[in-house]
Structure 1
Amino acid sequence: MSSALPRTERAAQRRISTALFLAGFATFSLIYCTQPLLPEFSTEFGIDPATSSLALSLTTGCLAFSILAAGALSEAVGRRGLMFVSMVGAALLNLVSAMAPSWELLLIARACEGLVLGGVPAVAMAYLAEEMPAGRLGRAMGLYVGGTAFGGMIGRVAIGALTEATSWRIALGSMAAVDLVVAFGFLALAPASRNFVRRPGLNPALHLAAWATHLRHRELPFLFLTGFLSMGAFVTIYNYAGYRLLAAPYSLSQAQIGLIFLTYIFGILASSSAGSLADRMGRPPVVITGVAVMLTGMLATLSSALWLIIGGIAVITVGFFMVHSVASGWVGRLASTNRSHAASLYLLSYYVGSSVMGSLGGWFWHEGAWPAVIVFCATLTLCVCAIALWLRRAGRG
């Protein structure tokens, strides 16, 4: 075999990894770019904070719903094209949000944005599992998850800074423009699918059977549960850390608290590293290590020292992205067929965990403040460890 072929193959793999990093960035920057703008919406449209939060919760709620449908649709229309159309459509809808003359139109645009964006996360995992060799899948999945972390961070931090310098409408419009460019960068880099087998038509019975098969799988439901539990713990930490740090003795401003999202940088690095480690060491040991890192960070946040609290949140972020990047790649490895259906079930569990456990964590905050939140999150995280240990004993790493 000539040496040119391996070089060509390595170049293709690098292009795929970079393209999926861009896809992750676009998706999560568009989802979370309204989070720092909620007070601006209250002022602009004369609404209360709970109503303002719909600009984010409608997007994530519609995203969770659309993931299942998008995974099924990709079996008929293909992976790469659907991801590109989803990114372009969502960026254009973000532009509509920036120009919306009324609150109702802004909410409609944000809800549609969530529906359209489902075409990226549900399909990205399947695309990687089909196009990357098993020995490189973990690293590629880690880079994709790193892109989601970077996008989530930029969508929260940069938008807030740009809004302060200009206006929230210019900030949202700028994000739309950036993500349009990112979408075309994805299209230029991502090779056409080589291992995808198209299934013409949209047969509901076929998709229901595929989902049912994955749910009856011996190990896959435990990975779906891993996404549910780990994301639930992670989102709960970020949801209620702000309440703690706004109050005395810290009395941080909203802008200062927003800077805490810069800890996502550590998540980006952890995602790529964890994927590479999983390729070499196996997946259960890396998930267990991620759990240990999360627990260490949780203990640190129990301190009254501000630097330890923020440092602990950074450590939790590292541990979470280790777990998530490995678990999401693991799904594609175990699902030998209908990978997009398996990916959509994992992501559905992931976003439902964010919604359900994130809200349930509020009861613990109300009843026992931060220590109770940590007990709740630590319990969820220990359950993830138990799952990884069981999968290791089952020899499915």
Structure 2
Amino acid sequence: MPAASSGAPATRTDARDQHLPPSTPAGARTGTDAGTGTDHEADAGTGDEGGGSRLRPGGPGYRRMSLALFLAGVATFALLYSTQALLPLITTGFGASASDASWTVSAATGALAVCVVPLSALSERFGRRTMMTASLGVAVLLGVLTPFAPDLGVLIALRALQGAALAGLPASAMAYLAEEVRPKALVAAIGLFVAGNSVGGMSGRVMTGWVAQAWGWRAAVGAVGLLAVVCAVAFRLLLPRPRHFTPGTLDPRALGRTVRSHLANPLLARLYAIGGLFMVVFGAVYTVIGYRLVAEPFSLPQGLIGSIFLVYLVGTVSSAAAGRLVRRTGRRGALYLAVGTTAAGLLVSVQDRLVLVLLGLVLITAGFFAGHAVASSSVSHTARAGRAQASALYQSAYYLGSSAGGTLGAVAFHADGWTGTVLLGLVALAGVAGITLHGTRAARRAEARGAEAGS
């Protein structure tokens, strides 16, 4: 997965929500979950709560919305991971260890994880479009300042502030899509936003690799900041005004109740764990891969190491295709395929042959982005109230996974080389598979009880 009150008319809330008792947890009305519910896309909104005004593929505004959020995704991932491909150079430049340098990535993702829920609450009051614009604006400003950091401590602090600023964007974007896009098109729309993430991650890393080889890591980080400026301006100009956003209040107690209800919902809790564990794998792999490729037996220059991230294009394709995958295999089936593909990539990448390392990265990237698109869209589909908070909790788990994966991946690499990083990833994937299998069994038991009650 709208600007508040920029003149957009408020619309009614779903009549079904109005008749639910206060204790009903968000998402309890739907039977879908990537790891728990039915395999079919429940159309708890296929009646099109907003009537013909909801955006649909081919309809007016849909392309502008898709391009705007695609560019927001590009800017978010380019900024968030702007130092990841440069870690070997930052390590040398500051005379730091790899684990210390990895904090330039982990501090940004960790701060995002901590701040995403509070900022999502602001989006409920001031609007999705307003929050996304403010987040990008502050993050872009910090991106322009980051190249001038005098030491590693200041660099880490600026990166943490940048991650905190970006926290207002992902959850607001998914809530915007859930409110403005027709339910049947939601997985595809979120898949395009996730595809923007993959393009941003790729372009930022490729750009920094070649710029750093010519002019150093500071110039490379500055180039990413300029790319983000262009994306932020285009995003604001393109994103349609919201038509289905209703402002809420900033009541901390109400926020606490909403967050607790989401965490108590077993469907959502499983999705949060799945997103976090997937990101442990991805964060570990892409934090460490530069160190592996710069050393023997590969000894690649920085520009080529940055170009390795072109495999993110595979993620662009797999995330955008997640909707078709779900229609063919169901949400749980799509998750099993994502886990299997990612695990195969980890195992293939163990070999000290560049072509196999690249093949492994392709499989890891394809599996990860497909799994992320399915899990994140399932959160937006499941939560029928407090969508921004539901998406924010997913994003919090997701980026905590990234932060933990980056740090643990570096520790595992220095303890046992690339094999240690692969083992860490396989353990995390075993967790995803176990959670999904538990959901599959829970769904079958629920179906059996329903059949018995019906007879």
TM > 0.5 fold call: yes
Higher helix share: 1
Among 333, 348, 351, which residue is 2:396 paired with?
Answer: 348
Q: Structure 2 matches for 1:321-360, cutoff 5 A?
A: 321-360=369-408
Distance 1:139 1:8 in 2: 9
- The amino acid of 2:431's aligned partner reads C
- The amino acid of 1:354's aligned partner reads S
- The amino acid of 2:381's aligned partner reads R
Instruction: State the shift of 1:106 in Å.
Output: 4.5
Q: Structure 2 matches for 1:1-397, cutoff 5 A?
A: 10-38=59-87, 41=90, 51-100=100-149, 106-166=155-215, 168-200=217-249, 202-279=250-327, 281-362=329-410, 364-366=412-414, 368-393=416-441, 394=443
Instruction: State the shift of 1:25 in Å.
Output: 0.5
Change over 3 Å in CA distance of 1:127–1:276 after alignment to 2 = farther
Is the CA contact (8 Å cut-off) linking 1:229 and 1:384 kept in structure 2?
yes
- The amino acid of 2:305's aligned partner reads I
* TM-align CA RMSD: 2.8
Q: Does the residue aligned with 2:361 lie in a helix, a strand or coil?
A: helix
Indicate the larger mover: 216-225 or 346-355.
346-355
Per-residue deviation, residues 65-112 of structure 1 (Å, max 9, x unmatched): 111111111111100111011112211121122345666654443332
Distance 2:325 2:402 in 1: 26
Is the CA contact (8 Å cut-off) linking 1:135 and 1:279 kept in structure 2?
no
- The amino acid of 2:168's aligned partner reads G
Distance 1:339 1:4 in 2: 19
- The amino acid of 1:225's aligned partner reads A
Is the CA contact (8 Å cut-off) linking 1:328 and 1:346 kept in structure 2?
yes
Distance 2:415 2:148 in 1: 42
Instruction: State the shift of 1:390 in Å.
Output: 3.7
Change over 3 Å in CA distance of 1:273–1:39 after alignment to 2 = same
Instruction: State the shift of 1:337 in Å.
Output: 0.6
Q: Does the residue aligned with 2:258 lie in a helix, a strand or coil?
A: helix
Distance 2:335 2:56 in 1: 32
- TM-score scaled to structure 1, two decimals? 0.89
- The amino acid of 2:332's aligned partner reads P
- The amino acid of 1:198's aligned partner reads P
Instruction: State the shift of 1:294 in Å.
Output: 1.1
Identity, % of aligned pairs? 39
- The amino acid of 2:248's aligned partner reads R
Change over 3 Å in CA distance of 1:234–1:168 after alignment to 2 = closer
Is the CA contact (8 Å cut-off) linking 1:66 and 1:115 kept in structure 2?
yes
Structure 2 unaligned residues grouped into runs of 5+: 1-51, 447-455
Change over 3 Å in CA distance of 1:45–1:366 after alignment to 2 = closer
Instruction: State the shift of 1:246 in Å.
Output: 3.9
Q: Does the residue aligned with 2:385 lie in a helix, a strand or coil?
A: coil
Change over 3 Å in CA distance of 1:251–1:87 after alignment to 2 = same
Is the CA contact (8 Å cut-off) linking 1:17 and 1:143 kept in structure 2?
yes
Q: Does the residue aligned with 1:282 lie in a helix, a strand or coil?
A: helix
Change over 3 Å in CA distance of 1:54–1:361 after alignment to 2 = closer
Per-residue deviation, residues 255-303 of structure 1 (Å, max 9, x unmatched): 4333221111111111101133325653222111111211221222233
Q: Does the residue aligned with 2:325 lie in a helix, a strand or coil?
A: helix
Per-residue deviation, residues 186-218 of structure 1 (Å, max 9, x unmatched): 122211222222113x21111111110001112
Is the CA contact (8 Å cut-off) linking 1:96 and 1:106 kept in structure 2?
no
Instruction: State the shift of 1:149 in Å.
Output: 1.0
Distance 1:336 1:19 in 2: 25
Is the CA contact (8 Å cut-off) linking 1:139 and 1:272 kept in structure 2?
yes
Per-residue deviation, residues 117-169 of structure 1 (Å, max 9, x unmatched): 11111211111111111111111111111111111112211022123334544
Distance 2:405 2:399 in 1: 10
Per-residue deviation, residues 25-64 of structure 1 (Å, max 9, x unmatched): 1111111222344455566666665554443333222212
Is the CA contact (8 Å cut-off) linking 2:349 and 2:361 kept in structure 1?
yes
- TM-score scaled to structure 2, two decimals? 0.78
Change over 3 Å in CA distance of 1:82–1:258 after alignment to 2 = same
Is the CA contact (8 Å cut-off) linking 1:301 and 1:312 kept in structure 2?
yes
Distance 2:156 2:55 in 1: 49
Q: Does the residue aligned with 2:372 lie in a helix, a strand or coil?
A: helix
- The amino acid of 1:151's aligned partner reads G
Q: How many residues align?
A: 393
Is the CA contact (8 Å cut-off) linking 1:84 and 1:184 kept in structure 2?
no
Is the CA contact (8 Å cut-off) linking 1:68 and 1:348 kept in structure 2?
yes
Indicate the larger mover: 183-192 or 363-372.
363-372
- Select the structure with the greater relative contact order (CA < 8 A; seq sep ≥ 6): 2
Change over 3 Å in CA distance of 1:235–1:119 after alignment to 2 = same
